[in-house]
């Protein structure tokens, strides 16, 4: 049993005195679910876990934390994978879980807009939209666990970015509790509003370091009444990119997903023991899972079939799903690959992007360098190539020692990031920086960018109590 | 001839000493084109006009201005209409015209992205995109005069927002000269990049008050190979909004414009003496100009015609253009109305938005209040109703005295803004705040918003030399 230092005991006493019964958890067992992220890789022991039920309770909590200088870390569904939302390893941080702020506040199919609280599970928010014949097009594997506040705070990406943009592009307004406990009410459903600075942009993608998002207003789209899915086999990543450029034009920009999978990933899914079979008649080096969606009066199936039929110079083999069940089986290939790629053990995740025109070269170069230097490692390559975004993951050999795994992760990440740098890419396309990518980020960022970021941090979190040490270094005071 | 105060003479001497020949203009006649905006309503006499040719020259200029505390105002095409880009009436500001930074730097039809400098005329940038089979979907009346830097600095809107979003949604990266002369290089064409704070968002829509935009990278879309245009006559604004909700769904979200015009506006166009004739057989209270655009394999004309054919419960009369020339004539109705609405004299422009679901009520209530209190004034109503954005303009009676015009503008704007407030709307949907909307903005803005905005201004322009007195009050030091 840990004995708390006096400053921590004072912090806990101040919080306990101010908050109603049932808001604060301090017992080890109660805090366990809030201490480790979904991957299991990232752990931090919180000083306490606060579970406020209203924006007023978040505000009260932050007023005390600001006054007493208590560091906090806002937490959503813990699926961010970069260690941004678990407590700091050195201890002393209060986790503020937004899970009980989970109201679906309002929706309008005429405004094509809805307002939901930060703690809503993404899938519940999506279902809310669907029930009103609309779609909230934030779509990815973790949607059954992640929460809206985390989606906004990390500017989540996913499958539909090529059509609808990142989460940022879908946010019409925010409600945020500032570091000093004041509430900024920027909730609105206006499609156009140029009254001064667009302050919500500050908080989107700031990973909890500038404020605590408590609710968000989203732009919605008409619910698709037609969804067509195809899997095609190709000769190369170059061909996948050529097909993408053509598909955007010929499918009237109605694509909602364009997912690259190399053969290795398909093998992982087929060998997972879940009974999946190869939908195509022979193996191909490269696959693309294509989805197009539309409402209204287009004949989407004909568009996709005609497009693929005329792309015989590129498409070697392919199947257009003839039923919803068949479409789901095609997607299951991808999901199974993602879920089973590590074989139950640890693996290195990367999440990089390059300009779309450089993606084929990036994959070729990175895989060649990995094969040359680390032939023992399994590289799994897939991604949202319509956005130039690839997940290039590294699975260590069976029976590697923990130290050997660490060494391999470090060496292969360095190789991958070097190629990213060469093509002017990003070492974090979707997941953000958190703690895990911090060194790689700070190694690469230019001084002016760092100065601007530091000024923002200092202006909005002068005591550095908000998720300090994520993105920027701990207690970084970089500004003027 | 004005005699400059000593501080101004010192400023001019410092700038002249540092800048190459031909960059600075100081003669009254040379400065005239940079002193008054496109509407003619807004004038300010600059201390000097600088016309840098490169980002390095902008940087040098700002280093001197920062050191000497010389106030500046960046200037684009002077079409913003809120007095943001002309010099301050009290004098002493150096106008920095970006017109010579006008290179089209790069474009890729595979990345669907381009990089252009701030001084490019929007239309030239659009033509550059078209020549590469892409479209930059920022589209509005002033596109032949406005410049890219101004479009980004004001987060310009226009006709295509309902499909493609505001300018903000199209910006992938920026290059900015900061208030102290350092260059922030945030130019990139990545579709996804979550490395820390998205700093470009700070400068978009900040009207020159936080930095000087020198170049921008834009997201492009496939060039439309089919464009269909229709004008329909309706019974009411309610019906226009009902038609919009249905059109989004049934036209597969392929709408690129949905413009409301009340009959009064059509009359203005028909009476302009330019030979326009009414495209419909009888007059109707309300019109909507609809445009849908697509590339690829959809049959867009059939979609639009079938949609309108099935909307007989709402659409009283209408025409789908059978040729490009006919489509241009339909658009000419709208353009002629906008250009001739003031009858050559001054008129009050408003640019407001409300949630889409409130737009019909807003128009009804505002027009009723105006008719009740100011039956002598002509209210011209049109707008981008797919975005909840209306321009409700007031034309004073012929032969009004200047004082009477001022009084009428003040009274009618107050009436319109009161109704905007009642529906939770924005007093500036597209054009920003500048100087003209400043009082109305500051009268309405809440303290927390103002505090956050003040902290940003203080952090990025500590000497308040960047377009000071636009958006926020002059020399506002509101932060901590």
ipTM of the complex: 0.96
Q: Contact B294/A253, CB-based, under 8 Å?
A: yes
Tell whether A322 and A335 lie within a shared domain. Answer: yes
Confidence of residue B373 (pLDDT cuts 50, 70, 90): very high
Q: Which residue has the tokens 């200092």?
A: A458
Q: What range does the domain containing B138 cover?
A: 104-222
Q: CA B248 to CA A112: how far, in whole Å?
A: 10
Question: Which residue of A lies nearest to B223 if distances are taken between CA atoms?
Answer: A249
Whether residue B114 is found in the same domain as residue B85: no
Handedness of CA B153, B154, B155, B157 (dihedral sign): negative
Tens-digit pLDDT profile for residues A147-206: 999 999 999 999 999 999 999 999 999 999 999 999 999 999 999 999 999 999 999 999
Q: How much is the pLDDT for A90?
A: 84
Check B195 against A426: CB less than 8 A apart. Answer: yes
User: Do A207 and A311 share a domain, yes or no?
Assistant: no
Q: How many residues does chain B have?
A: 480
Label residues A444-473 b or e (16+ Cβ within 10 Å = b).
ebeebbbbbbbbbbbbbbebbbbbbbbbbe
Question: Is residue A86 domain-shared with residue A53, that is, in the same domain?
Answer: yes
Contact A196 B441 (CB under 8 A): yes
pLDDT over threshold 70, residue A348: yes
Sheet-wide strand order for A389-395: A317-320, A226-234, A286-294, A255-262, A378-384, A389-395, A352-353
What's chain A's average pLDDT? 95
pLDDT value for B89:
85
Residue A356 to residue B384, Cβ atoms within 8 A: no
Q: Does B164 have pLDDT greater than 50?
A: yes
Mark whether A214 and A148 lie in a shared domain.
yes
Give the mean pLDDT of A415-437: 97
CB within 8 Å: A195 and B433:
yes
A449 contacts B184? CB cut-off 8 A? yes
Q: Is the pLDDT of residue B148 over 70?
A: yes
pLDDT at B42 over 70: yes
Same domain, residue pair B158 and B201: yes
Q: Is residue B434 one of the residues assigned to a domain?
A: no
- Assess if residue B1 is contained within a domain: no
- Min Cα distance A223 → chain B (Å) is 8
At B475, the pLDDT band (50, 70, 90 cuts) reads low
Does residue A448 form part of some domain? no
Chain A residues touching B169 at Cβ < 8 A? 165, 169
| B471 lies in some domain | no
Please, what's the b/e burial string for A378-389 (b: 16 or more CB within 10 A of its CB; e: otherwise)?
Answer: bbbbbbbbbbbb
Percent of chain A with pLDDT over 90: 95
- Provide the CA B411 distance to its chain's centre, in angstroms: 24
Contact yes or no for B307 and A298 at CB 8 A: no
CB atoms within 10 A of CB A99: 19
In a shared domain, residues A230 and A336: yes
Each residue's pLDDT tens digit, A4-13: 788 899 999 9
- Is residue B438 situated within a structural domain? no
- For residues B260 and B334, give the distance between their C-alpha atoms in angstroms, rounded to a whole number: 10
Among candidates B194, B202, B429 on the partner chain, residue whose Cβ is nearest the Cβ of A194: B429
* Arithmetic mean of pLDDT, A318-342: 97
Of B182, B186, B455, which has the smallest distance from its Cβ to A460's Cβ? B455
Residue A87 pLDDT greater than 80, yes or no: yes
Inter-axis angle of helices A55-68 and A6-18, nearest 10: 150
CATH number at residue A411: 3.30.70.2740
Who among B199, B307, B449 is closest to A184 (CB)?
B449
Closest CA to B166 of A201, A256, A249, A106: A201
Average pLDDT, stretch A100-112? 97
Find out whether B153 and B213 touch, Cβ atoms under 8 Å.
yes
Enumerate helices (H) and strands (E) in chain B, giving the number of each. 16, 18
Q: Which of A252, A384, A473 to mutate to test the interface with B (most CBs of B within 10 A)?
A: A252
A50 with A118, same domain: the answer is: no
Q: Cα separation of B250 and B348, whole Å?
A: 37
Q: Give the closest-approach CA distance of A48 to chain B in angstroms.
A: 27
> Could you say which of B192, B197, B252 has the minimum Cβ distance to residue A453?
B197
In chain B, residues with a C-beta closer than 8 Å to the C-beta of A195 are 426-428, 433, 437, 441, 445
Residue B455 forms part of a structural domain: no
Instruction: Determine, for residues A429 and B155 on separate chains, whether the beta-carbon distance falls below 8 Å.
Output: no
User: What pLDDT score does B473 carry?
Assistant: 81
Q: Tell if the CB–CB gap between A191 and B162 is shorter than 8 Å.
A: yes
Mean pLDDT of chain B: 95
Best interface-test mutation with A: which of B66, B137, B196 has the largest number of A CBs within 10 A? B196
| The domain boundary residue, chosen from A422, A446, A471 | A422
- pLDDT tens readout for residues B409-421: 999 999 999 999 9
Report the C-alpha gap between B337 and B265 in whole angstroms: 6
* B241 within domain boundaries: yes
Is residue A91 pLDDT above 90, yes or no?
Answer: no
Please indicate, yes or no, whether residues A92 and A135 belong to a single structural domain of this protein.
no
CB contact under 8 A, A189 and B355: yes
Report yes or no: B232 and B287 within 8 Å, Cβ to Cβ.
yes
- Is residue A121 scored above 90 in pLDDT? yes
Q: Which residues of A touch B245 (CB under 8 A)?
A: 109-110
What is the DSSP secondary-structure string of A293-306?
EE-TT--HHHHHHH
Structurally, chain A folds into a number of domains equal to 4
Residues B175 and B264 in one domain: no
A27 Rama class: left (phi>0) / alpha (psi -120 to 50) / beta? beta
Separation of alpha carbons B85 and B72, rounded Å = 10
Spatial neighbors of B79 by CB under 8 A, at least 6 apart, are B37, B38, B142, B145, B146, B150
pLDDT tens, residue by residue, A235-275: 999 999 999 999 999 999 899 999 999 999 999 999 999 99
Q: Which of B197, B222, B247 is at the close of a domain?
A: B222
| pLDDT above 80: residue B479 | no
> Which phi and psi (to 5°) does residue A393 adopt?
-105, 155
What is the average pLDDT across B130-144? 97
**Residues of A in Cβ contact (< 8 Å) with B188:** 424
Q: Assign residue A244 the CATH number of its domain.
A: 3.30.70.2190
B86 in any annotated domain: yes
- At A3 the pLDDT is 67
pLDDT of residue A2: 54
Whether residues A209 and A263 share a domain: the answer is no
pLDDT in tens, B258-293: 999 999 999 999 999 999 999 999 999 999 999 999
H-helix or E-strand spanning residue A336:
helix A324-340
Q: pLDDT exceeding 70 applies to what percent of chain B?
A: 98
Query: Looking at the predicted structure, is the pLDDT value of residue B316 above 60?
Result: yes
Residue that is last in its domain, among B375, B407, B422 = B422
Same domain, B335 and B367: no
Interface touch B480/A462, C-beta < 8 Å: yes
């Amino acid at each position: 049993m840990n004995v708390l230092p006096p400053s921590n005991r004072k912090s806990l006493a101040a919080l306990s005195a101010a908050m109603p019964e049932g808001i604060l958890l301090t017992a080890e067992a109660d805090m366990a679910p809030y201490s480790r992220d979904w991957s299991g890789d990232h752990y931090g022991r919180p000083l306490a876990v606060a579970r406020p039920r209203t924006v007023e309770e978040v505000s009260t909590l932050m007023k005390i934390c600001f006054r007493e200088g208590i560091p906090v870390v806002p937490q959503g569904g813990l699926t961010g994978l970069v260690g941004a939302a678990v407590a700091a390893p050195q201890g002393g941080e209060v986790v503020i879980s937004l899970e009980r702020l989970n109201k679906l506040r309002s929706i309008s199919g005429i405004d094509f807009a809805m307002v939901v609280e930060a703690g809503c599970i993404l899938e519940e928010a999506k279902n809310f939209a669907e029930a009103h014949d609309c779609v909230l097009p934030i779509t990815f594997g973790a949607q059954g666990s992640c929460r809206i506040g985390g989606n906004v705070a990390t500017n989540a990406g996913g499958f539909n970015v090529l059509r609808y943009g990142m989460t940022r592009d879908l946010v019409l307004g925010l409600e945020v509790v500032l570091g000093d406990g004041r509430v900024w009410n920027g909730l609105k459903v206006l499609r156009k509003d140029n009254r001064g600075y667009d302050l919500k942009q500050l908080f989107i993608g700031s990973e909890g370091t500038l404020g605590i998002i408590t609710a968000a207003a989203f732009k919605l789209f008409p619910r698709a009444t037609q969804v067509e899915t195809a899997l095609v086999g190709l000769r190369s990543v170059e061909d996948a990119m050529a097909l993408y450029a053509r598909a955007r034009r010929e499918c009237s920009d109605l694509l909602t997903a364009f997912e690259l999978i190399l053969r290795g990933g398909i093998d992982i899914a087929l060998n997972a023991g879940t009974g999946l079979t190869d939908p195509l008649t022979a193996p191909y080096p490269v696959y693309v899972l294509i989805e197009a969606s539309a409402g209204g009066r287009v004949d989407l199936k004909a568009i996709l079939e005609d497009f693929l039929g005329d792309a015989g110079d590129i498409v070697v083999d392919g199947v257009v799903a003839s039923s919803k069940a068949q479409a789901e089986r095609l997607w299951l290939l991808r999901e199974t690959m993602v879920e089973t790629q590590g074989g139950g053990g640890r693996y290195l995740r990367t999440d990089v992007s390059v300009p779309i025109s450089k993606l084929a070269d990036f994959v070729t170069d990175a895989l060649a360098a990995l094969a040359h230097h680390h032939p023992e490692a399994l590289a799994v390559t897939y991604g949202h190539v319509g956005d130039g975004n690839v997940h290039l993951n590294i699975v260590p050999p069976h029976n590697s020692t923990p130290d050997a795994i660490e060494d391999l992760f470090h060496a292969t990440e360095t190789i991958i990031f070097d190629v990213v740098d060469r093509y002017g890419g990003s070492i974090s396309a979707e997941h953000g920086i958190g703690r895990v990518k911090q060194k790689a980020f700070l190694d690469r960022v230019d001084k002016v960018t760092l100065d601007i970021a530091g000024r923002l941090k200092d202006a909005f979190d002068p005591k550095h109590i908000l998720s300090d040490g994520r993105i920027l270094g701990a207690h970084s005071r970089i500004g003027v």
